Structure 1
Amino acid sequence: MLIDVEKIARFPWSPWLAQIQTPFGRTAVRWCGDENAEPGEYHVEWTVDAELTWGRNAKPAGAAGAEVRPGGHCVVLRGLLRLTEDGAAVLDLDGSPILLDIAGPLPEDVDGTWIELFVEREKISLYPYEL
C-alpha cells in the first residue's frame, strides 16, 4: 500500500512511530523502517501483532469502506474480513491484506463482512519496501 509519512518520532516509552496519511484516514503506528526516513510516500506492508477477539477488539463496522483512524490509545482499522481454511483471518484494508490470528470463536456469518479492529498503535507495524 502506498502511504504518506508525515513524520517519524520516538518517545521514551514507545517504539519509533510514524504519523501517516492514507487515502482513507490518518493515524500514528509503529514504523519498522529507517528511523531517519524523510517524510514522503512509501510502499508498506501492514502487520498486526494482536489476536482478533470478537466482541473485545473486533466488531461489525457501522459502514462499508476502508478506514484508518485514531481511537484513544489505539488505532481503528476498518476492513473486509476473510476467513482462511487453516483458522486464520485476513483483513482486507483497501486491497492490502493483513494476516490476523484469531482468539476464540467468531460469529458464523462474519466472513466477508466489514469489521472494525481496535489495536494498540505499537502493535500495528509498517514495513516499507521498494518496488
Structure 2
Amino acid sequence: MLIELVKVAEFPGSPWLADVRTSFGHAAVGWCGDRAAEPGEYPVEWTIDEDIVWGQNAKPAVGTGPGLRTGGHCVVLRGKLSPTEDGAALLDFDGTNILLDLAHPLPEDVANTWVELFIEHNKVSLYPYAL
C-alpha cells in the first residue's frame, strides 16, 4: 500500500512512530524503516502484533469502506475481515491484506463483514519496501 509519510519521531518508552496519511485517514503507527526518512510517499507492508479478540479489540464497523484514525491510545483500522482455513484471519485494508492472529475463532456471522480493529500504536507497524 502506498502511504504518505508526514514525519518520523521517537517518543520516550515507545518505538519510532510515523505520522502517516492515506486517502481514507491518518494515524501514528510504528515505523520499521529508516529513522531519517524524509516526508513523502512510501510503499509499505502493514503488520499487527496483537491477537485479535472479537468483542474486545475487534468490533463491527461503524460505516463501510476502509478507514484509519487515532482513537485515544490506539489506532483504529477499518476493513473487511475474512477468516482463513488455518484459523487466522485477513483484514482487507483498501486492497492490502493484513494477516491477523486470532485468540479465539471468529463468530460465523462476522466473515466478510466490515470491522474496526482497536490496536495500540506500538502494535501496528509499517515496513517500507522498494518497488
Report the equivalent of 1:100: 100
Q: Percent identity between the aligned chains?
A: 65
CA deviation after TM superposition for structure 1 residue 30, in Å: 0.2
Report the equivalent of 2:51: 51
CA deviation after TM superposition for structure 1 residue 49, in Å: 0.1
Give matches, 1:1-131, under 5 Å: 1-131=1-131
Corresponding residue pairs, total: 131
CA deviation after TM superposition for structure 1 residue 63, in Å: 1.0
TM-score (structure 2 length as normaliser):
0.98
* Runs of at least 5 residues in structure 2 that lack an aligned partner in the other structure: none
**Worse-superposed segment, 38-47 or 96-105:** 96-105
CA deviation after TM superposition for structure 1 residue 107, in Å: 1.3
Q: Which of structure 1's runs of 4+ aligned residues deviate more than 2 A?
A: none
* Secondary structure, counterpart of 2:122 in structure 1: helix
CA deviation after TM superposition for structure 1 residue 73, in Å: 0.5
CA deviation after TM superposition for structure 1 residue 105, in Å: 3.1
TM-score (structure 1 length as normaliser):
0.98
2:3–2:43 Cα contact (<8 Å) kept: yes
**Worse-superposed segment, 70-79 or 101-110:** 101-110
